[in-house]
Amino acid sequence: MRTGNFARAFSVSTVALLAVTACGSDSDDSGGGSDSGGSNEAVTNIYGSDGNMGSALGDQFTDKGALAGMKGTTPLTDLSADFKERLDALNPDLGGTYNYAGESYDAVVLVALAAQSAGTNDATAFAPYINGLTSGGDTCTDFASCLEILNEGGDVDYDGASGPLSFSDPGEPAVASFGLLQFGEDNKIDDSLTEFQVAGDEAQAATDAGPAPVAPGATGGPLVVGTLLPLTGSLAFLGPPEVAGVQLAVQEINAAGGALGAPVQLVEGDSGDTSTDTANTTVDRLLAANVNAIIGAASSSVSLTVIDKIAAAGVVQFSPANTSDQFTTYNDSGLYFRTAPPDVLQAVPLADLVLSDGNTTVGILNLNDAYGTGLAKNVAANLVDGGLNEDDILSITYDPTASSYDTEVQQMVEFGPDAIVVIGFDESARIIQELNAQGIGPAR
């Protein structure tokens, strides 16, 4: 659901527009684009989304300015300095990258609060409490303060590191914060240009508060949390902040006395990506370890390969980064949750960012998976809602394992759009390199 005009929140007067000479363009601008610095040459603006809008993308480029001016969105809250310091103390090598760290932290806290509310580590018993813990009660922002409310017989409304959450009935945020990011000349995200936009509607939060909590101070078997996070594969750049978020949550929950009167136990594992069977192997190991909840996966496509197995085992799956709209209606037996917002929400700030820069023709290059195709569809719909015609938009779906993207990029060159949105993971580097080579990438 749209919540206002993004152009009002993001002023292009404070952020330089990306201007790149388009290959083979005519001086009459017939190929699309905008006028730059008195030149009549066409220009192309390049945009990304959460799968590639991180400084790790820049690590794959050696030429200065190869990504300069590329903009995009990612689910991101204006994290407090204190939270970042706590993450950095736990992992000094994060290098200022905190993508999905807050969402990972919040997933663990909600699992622990739900188990405490239910008085058991049985996921089928505590899962019905999760939605109700995110809205409608007394606001708290960490496990210790929320536990105090529970122990006093109160109703918890957990507003976490990643925002107010306010879960809707499917177990996902009804409202979310997004970071609007831009790469600098050093091919890193320029934090000084980051702004934030909220999308969604808290009125869509679930109205069912769930079961009444059991008696305060309930004890029981230890809560065991497993992780299914990308230590390897195409989303490995998201692994460190997500792992740090989980570890920090467990550390702080245990410092507050743990859940069910015992320390939370952590069993960690790698999700890999869809090119391997790593996720299934890890899930088998986690289930054998009798975990009660699994935090992950980051990739929507990876989660889709294991969600049925996890639900059948009666275990909660809680993703900090899945954004595919498929999960909103997935038959998960009420055991799947996510702190990341669905793509229907991210599409709003991403499309508005493109439109606010004055682009009137848009190309979309998206990888062929649940995340890529879903976000591309939603972005295109929002661009049309924003005033573009359907024939002003060219969407091309690509194979992320392809050896070359020459053909797809050449199609974009022939279309000559004002803007190109690249929706992908680490293979985005090869696509952008080809865009640069053919004269319509971010390199100046």
Label residue 42 by pLDDT band (50, 70, 90): low
Q: Which of 339, 371, 400 is the last residue of a domain?
A: 339
Q: Which domain holds residue 294?
A: 101-171+206-339
> Which is nearest to 141 in space by CA: 278, 249, 262, 17?
249
182: phi then psi, degrees, rounded to nearest 5? -145, 140
Residue 134 belongs to domain with CATH number: 3.40.50.2300
Same domain, 283 and 162: yes
- Domains: count for the chain: 2
- In the structure encoding, which two tokens stand for residue 341, read together? 């917002």
Decide if 5 is inside a domain.
no
Specify burial of residue 360 (Cβ count, 10 A radius: 0-12, 13-18, 19+): middle
Stretch 232-259: mean pLDDT, rounded?
96
Q: Which of 339, 365, 390 is the last residue of a domain?
A: 339
pLDDT tens digit string along 75-133?
988 999 999 999 999 999 998 889 899 999 999 999 999 999 999 999 999 999 999 99
Same domain, 331 and 367: no
CB atoms within 10 A of CB 21: 16
Q: Tokens 């022939």 label which residue? A: 414
Question: What whole-number percentage of the chain has pLDDT above 70?
Answer: 90
Same domain, 43 and 138: no
Same domain, 270 and 393: no
Global pTM value: 0.82
pLDDT tens digit string along 145-187?
999 999 999 999 999 999 899 999 999 999 999 999 999 999 9
